[in-house]
Structure formats: structure tokens, C-alpha cells
């Protein structure tokens, strides 16, 4: 008969349960590693939640895009008005540069109770201001939507002052060039 020599190793076999007699260094560090990983994951989650709050509900959520010279605080300082009636102004024809015409109709957004005790707003002030602002413009300028919005904002700002803060917005109802 033949005899086989077996070599017995002090290490455990693969897949066997650990014995209480010997432990190695990696097994001792595993609880510390787990705590470190948990702390790192928690820190990342806290930072992610802070960033999400900033952009969704905090100061970064409603910060409008501003020019380099303006500050968001200036936008927030504008008073809010209780909106009232919208006063439509009949369309008029305005002379443009180069023999062209603009048919312009607009409406005025009034604050609640505008017009004083008489209850009326004189539209001739708004018409005169619009004629002065739009007369002499070119058809090419008015074809640019950004330029049209600039003109509307200028008209709105002028009417806000002329009507003593009773007109807070202007809406185009008719805008045709020929």
C-alpha cells in the first residue's frame, strides 16, 4: 500500500467558518472601515441635500438671470400691486421710417381702484406716449422680438410714471407692420 503525505496548513480552508483561535489583521479593520464608509456616504448625502435645497427651494431657486450691472436684490425690492381691470386701447396707425406703417393696439393693466373717484383712465395719454415712442422706427427694428419687448418695457415704464403708478403692465393686442 502506498501512503500519502498530507500537509496541513494553519490557515482556514476556503468556505469554512472562522475559528475563534486565530484572527488576521484585515478582519480586525473591517468594522472601522465600515464606519468610515458610512461617515463618507452620510457626508456626501448631506452635501447633496444642501445643494438640492439651494437650487430647488433656497436662494438659488428664484434668482433671475441678471446683467452684470444689476443685482437680484433690486428686482425683489419692487412693490407688488393688486391687479385690477385691463383697459384696451383701440388700435392706431403709426408712421414708421421709409414710408411704412405700424398698426398698434395695446391694453393697459391697471391696479385695483385705478382712476380715482371718477373711476376712469384717460387713454389719450397712453396713445400720445405710444405714438412718440414708435414713430420713426424701422420695420427691420420692429421685426426683432427682443427690440419689440424693449419698446414695450419703455412704454410700460413711461406710462407707470405718467399715470402715477396706476398702470403696471402693457400688453400688445395688435402689432402689424406694412
Please check the confidence at residue 160 and state whether its pLDDT lies above 80.
yes
Residues of the chain with CATH 3.30.479.30: 83-177
Of residues 68 and 104, more confidently modeled: 104
CB 89 within 8 A of CB 127: yes
Q: What is the pLDDT of residue 119?
A: 59
Mean pLDDT, to the nearest integer, of 26-38? 70
Q: What is the pLDDT of residue 97?
A: 93
Domain 83-177: CATH superfamily, name plus number: Band 7 domain (3.30.479.30)
CB 171 within 8 A of CB 107: yes
For the entire predicted model, the pTM comes to 0.55
Q: What is the pLDDT of residue 7?
A: 65
CB 155 within 8 A of CB 133: yes
CB 135 within 8 A of CB 95: yes
Amino acid at each position: 500500500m502506498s501512503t500519502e503525505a498530507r500537509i496541513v496548513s494553519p490557515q482556514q480552508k476556503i468556505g469554512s467558518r472562522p475559528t475563534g483561535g486565530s484572527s488576521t489583521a484585515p478582519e480586525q479593520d473591517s468594522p472601522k472601515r465600515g464606519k468610515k464608509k458610512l461617515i463618507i456616504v452620510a457626508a456626501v448625502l448631506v452635501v447633496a441635500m444642501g445643494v438640492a435645497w439651494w437650487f430647488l427651494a433656497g436662494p438659488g431657486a428664484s434668482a433671475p438671470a441678471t446683467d452684470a450691472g444689476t443685482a437680484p436684490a433690486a428686482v425683489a425690492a419692487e412693490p407688488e400691486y393688486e391687479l385690477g381691470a385691463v383697459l384696451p386701447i383701440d388700435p392706431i396707425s403709426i408712421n414708421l421710417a421709409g414710408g411704412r406703417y405700424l398698426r398698434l393696439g395695446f391694453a393697459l393693466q391697471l391696479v385695483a381702484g385705478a382712476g380715482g373717484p371718477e373711476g376712469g383712465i384717460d387713454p389719450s395719454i397712453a396713445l400720445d406716449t405710444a405714438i412718440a415712442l414708435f414713430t420713426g422706427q424701422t420695420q427691420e427694428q420692429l421685426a426683432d422680438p427682443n427690440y419689440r419687448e424693449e419698446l414695450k418695457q419703455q412704454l410700460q415704464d413711461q406710462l407707470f410714471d405718467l399715470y402715477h403708478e396706476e398702470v403696471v403692465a402693457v400688453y400688445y393686442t395688435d402689432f402689424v407692420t406694412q
